[in-house]
Structure 1
């Protein structure tokens, strides 16, 4: 798509306005109650639906003005990035739990994390587009990176390493603790506080720094994935941004369901593997090797199909496990009575 500069400016401006409106409404500045309120499930559901609706309407606009192929590329990219964001949410969940962030301040932490993620992805998109234009063989590197990511996701899931990681002890956080004193408790949403004449940093700053580091890691994985579906920088950026913008609402909506998505890692791994192979086939084709190329229609079908099977399979497994637990408890109760 040939997107003029004013469209870029208008798109980014609209996204910033939506995020500001989101923050204003959530914080209720007109309320008599000082400070942010806790984020409820119903409120999260409405906001999550709102963001998905905006993303879908925008995608239909891309399809209308840019053509069917551009629209399909956007939706494939959006679904892929939204799927990856669920894995991102799981790590956020572990991180926020590890730092014991009070629930009433969690939405602020997530908003800062999302803004950092959008900025980092914007940087990597610009870098990735320049690299692709200068060196088409980078698709081999991206493909291998995604296949390795697919393997690593399954490996960590099987070994349970995701649950064992201590997200409070990454090198950046340890470096900050080494040079500045840290308070034991949170002081509202403040990142620093002065106590007895000494400036302390609070755990709020540490958790935001930790989220920034996590965002950097996820950006390295997600940007090659979407470049495997489209090389249009505008589509890459907007698909990423819309997938991230409703992330904190989705966090509160899915917080109680994190443990139920048992097969999400397998689904993400399959998508990464598929896109990785697709990128390598594309690179071979660009270099004159006669190999089949995977069209955007097939890509969208595979991605939607994998995520549907993953989610449905996870819910079915949860229901079966719950039934078995109930039967076991019933059997144990019967044994005790006899």
Structure 2
């Protein structure tokens, strides 16, 4: 029997307990009004029909109990019957309102997911000797859509990509994310270097963002046997080499996010590392490493990638990592979580 089945038996158990106690104690304790626990609990664990059936059961049980307690025709039984009818009606109304709210929330979530899919259009899964896998998990709390973003573009010098996270939630964050992706798609093809792509994104955001809003991001350019990175205050990617070693690709110096680069004396410096056949790099947003289990422990991403990203197909490997993250949380992730895995095939 599942948890839901156990919960649905609570109204029956409550009314059965009232019946037993009343038969044992008699009319002295005046337990009959407690039959209203049946429809009240039914409204919590069931729907309108379940609540109505519990109310009818409470009314039916109250009559023989009143006869046993010699209360028929007395004010006590009249009050009990009115209380049962009133509580049942109120509980049925609450169930109906809750169901309407859940339907509206489901519709909002569908719209949010559609918006997110339009924003994060499908990216190529192959680019030369690169194989690419994606994972995006939307936060399930009140259908809040966020600003996690990613994209991949072919450029004359190699394959360029961006993974980022817009500050904030809701449609404002989605609008900013769409703006960043649009600017990246243009700059990735036009600009001669990755640093120029970053400068163009910063100029674009400087015109759009106000106050203290910002976008953390990692820009990358995959070349022959190496990868170049620029990190704008984003969690560092993880390099898993073909021989099973793990490296955090951290910049030499921390840099502010996009939108705040002008506040720094110097902008972020490009850095890189070898990226050969059999190597793979995992890009991710902070929704992954900040996901907690019920005990408050953060998801140990670095401890899991070496074991979980071994599958022959990159998407299968990333799907396995995603399922492990959900299992760690014990349910939907509390914040948007995006992951992008780039694997270089062996010659």
Fold shared, TM-score > 0.5 on shorter chain:
no
TM-score, normalised with respect to structure 1: 0.25
Larger fraction in helix: 1
Q: Which has the higher contact order (CA 8 A, sep 6+)?
A: 1
TM-score, normalised with respect to structure 2: 0.25
Larger fraction in strand: 2
